[in-house]
Amino acid sequence: MKQVTSIPDLAGKRIVLGLTGGIACYKSAEFLRRAQDHGAVVDVVMTPAATHFITPTTMQALSGNPVFIDTDDGRVSNSMAHINLGRSADAILIAPASADFIAKLAHGMADDLLSTLCLARGQCPLLVAPAMNREMWAHPATQRNVAQLRADGVVILGPGSGSQACGETGDGRMLEPHELLSDLIDHFQPKHLAGKRVLITAGPTSEAIDPVRVITNRSSGKTGYAIAQAAREAGAQVVLVSGPTSLPCPRHVLRIDTESAIDMHAIVMNEATQADIFISVAAVADWHVINSSQQKLKKTEQGQGLPELQFAPNPDILAEVARLSDGPWCVGFAAETENLHEHAEAKRKRKGIPLLVGNLAQHAMNADTTQFVLFDDKGHQALPAQPKLSAARELILAIAQRHSSIQAKSQGTHRK
């Protein structure tokens, strides 16, 4: 498969990054660079208190743009930085947002450039990343203010939990730069699956031979994890049932770890009736060892006394979910090494599912790119070769379109 590239997630986006007084300002510098790496243009606005923790010179050097602090800034021709910056931005992110600044936002106060900008932002989305001591975060006044911001349509990112600069531990830490970046990218993704519950399997399964040896496959889990992330970005509540991988769980996704196919089957069948959509991506082993040893099998000299393994078939998770009378809308995967179209369509019909995604294993396994071919009752559709997250986002859109079409037809039938 030829080398492919993708458009950065924040390409063409202009972000106003607002800093208020707090030690977490150091995280904002790293976040700024990460956002730029993903294509964003960043304008920085600081409160006077923020300049006690990080200098405007630092933020200007990192952003490549002037830093704004004063309401009356002579560098702005019309002296209306609070209007110009907000109206030209795709989003305003306050990180860190102190308890004091959150109170200002909740009560519509505007006594500095950043608070004035937020009040005059019009339809520009406002995202707020709280950063404060755990007691300040837990205080009823702060909780009332945060609830008011949510009611006003402000997006609250975090806070996180952990050790704090004051030496205490608890809720109130500003999210880490990579978490802020993930949530910002998530914000801009279309919410095709808002309100839906999506169940996904990913990774390999691992079948024990003895306590230290297993039979498994080369699946890295990258495709399934990318699909879980894309589904979450699309607004779904996602449960990810994962075989053994070293991948970090996508943010805001509930991961349930498992090893064997039998264990994965039990978990999926327990979760399936609560899901709207089931996407079976895991490379599930076809067989398990029925005479696995409880003790390590010892190697013998010159290959004498080789163990005789006995196998039994594993449950067909996808087919069983597809047969549920109250089950979810099902999507399967087929990783083939040859005759992709023939084998994939045959598998789709055999499983009794409306959509199957095929790809070539030799190109996709453990790779960062893939090329999906979608098979349904109307035929097949080849998507372009692209990074797995980009492919996952296209797949989620295709799933959402098909699922909503089925729902619309079902509702039409009920009305008749």
Annotated binding-site residue numbers for CTP:
286, 296, 315-318, 333, 347, 351
| Whole-number Cα distances in Å, 332 to 98, 104, 127, 277, 382 | 47, 50, 37, 11, 16
Is 166 annotated as catalytic?
A: yes
Q: Which residues are annotated as a binding site?
A: 286, 296, 315-318, 333, 347, 351
Q: Would you say the C-alpha torsion 345, 347, 353, 358 has a positive or negative sign?
A: negative
Instruction: Report the alpha-carbon distance of residue 359 to residue 223 in Å, rounded.
Output: 11
How far is 165 from 133, CA to CA, in rounded Å?
Answer: 8
Q: How many residues does the chain have?
A: 416
Q: Tokens at residue 391, please?
A: 């492919």
Name, in order, each residue with C-beta under 8 angstroms of 4's C-beta and a sequence gap of 6 or more: 369, 384, 385, 386, 387
Three-class SS state of 368: coil
With beta carbons less than 8 A apart as the criterion, state whether 72 and 44 touch. no
Tell me how crowded residue 287 is: count the other CB atoms within 10 A of its CB: 14
Query: Tokens 């498969």 appear where?
Result: 1
| DSSP helix/strand/coil, 242 | strand
Q: Nearest-CA neighbor of 33 among 66, 63, 57? A: 63
**Which tokens hold the place of 278?**
């089931």
**Amino acid letter for position 395:** L
Distance between CA 101 and CA 146 in Å, rounded?
11
Whole-angstrom Cα distance, residue 42 to residue 45?
A: 10
* C-alpha to C-alpha distance for 374 and 357, rounded to whole angstroms: 5
Please pick, among 25, 118, 124, 166, the residue that the annotation labels catalytic: 166
Q: Give me the active site residues, please.
A: 166
